[in-house]
A and B are shown apart, each in its own frame.
Chain A
Amino acid sequence: AQTVTQSQPEMSVQEAETVTLSCTYDTSESDYYLFWYKQPPSRQMILVIRQEAYKQQNATENRFSVNFQKAAKSFSLKISDSQLGDAAMYFCAYRTSGYALNFGKGTSLLVTP
């Protein structure tokens, strides 16, 4: 079974600074997809960014980017120029085609003024 591990239960960053959230996963598959979801206090799950395993180029969405290391099975999320609205739980997730998402336990991000 695939497992997704987020080793940082909580992280803190100052406004305008950069923070990196870690995620590792375990799989024997070669073709898969990785996701970061954001869950603000409203509880709504919001897709932040997605990475296809067959693409070597790291995905980027505005202030959000990933560092995908396929050999190391690592998929970290970098948030640049952090804003107060970035405060939330962040979930790393994995899936292969034909299967549902498999989530990590989450990292709670606190953004301080």
Chain B
Amino acid sequence: DAGVIQSPRHEVTEMGQEVTLRCKPISGHDYLFWYRQTMMRGLELLIYFNNNVPIDDSGMPEDRFSAKMPNASFSTLKIQPSEPRDSAVYFCASSLGLAGEETQYFGPGTRLLVL
């Protein structure tokens, strides 16, 4: 398996623009997670899905952020409008389940810079 795939790897945009990050989880994994990594706050969980349904979005910072999972093999994280403070590395991860021993597999991340 190719692992978790994220695109783009790097994104530079201007404040106010819409940004869409994409993720393809590992085939057969029922759970998909979106994390944000910044120097100040470390790794934060934004939202996660189970069988394409959002389960916990309490980590989504504000209404400018939205995430969807239209099918088992694709998810998007959208920021509209983007702001400089959204600059971070965004990770997607997937796992078979949420049992404690289940391993989460991470994608390579998308480095977002909002000017």
Contacts and interface: CB of A to CB of B under 8 A. Distances in A.
Whether A and B are associated in the same complex: the answer reads yes
Contacts of A104: 42
Contact of B42 (A44, A50, A97, A105): A105
A23 to B, nearest CB: 13
Interface of A: 31-33, 37, 42-47, 50, 52, 91, 95-106
28 contacts: A31-B100, A32-B100, A33-B100, A33-B101, A37-B106, A43-B89, A43-B109, A44-B109, A45-B106, A47-B103, A47-B104, A50-B101, A50-B103, A52-B100, A91-B42, A95-B100, A96-B100, A97-B99, A98-B98, A100-B48, A100-B56, A100-B98, A101-B33, A102-B45, A103-B43, A105-B42, A106-B42, A106-B43
Interface of B: 33, 42-43, 45, 48, 56, 89, 91, 93, 98-101, 103-104, 106, 108-109, 111
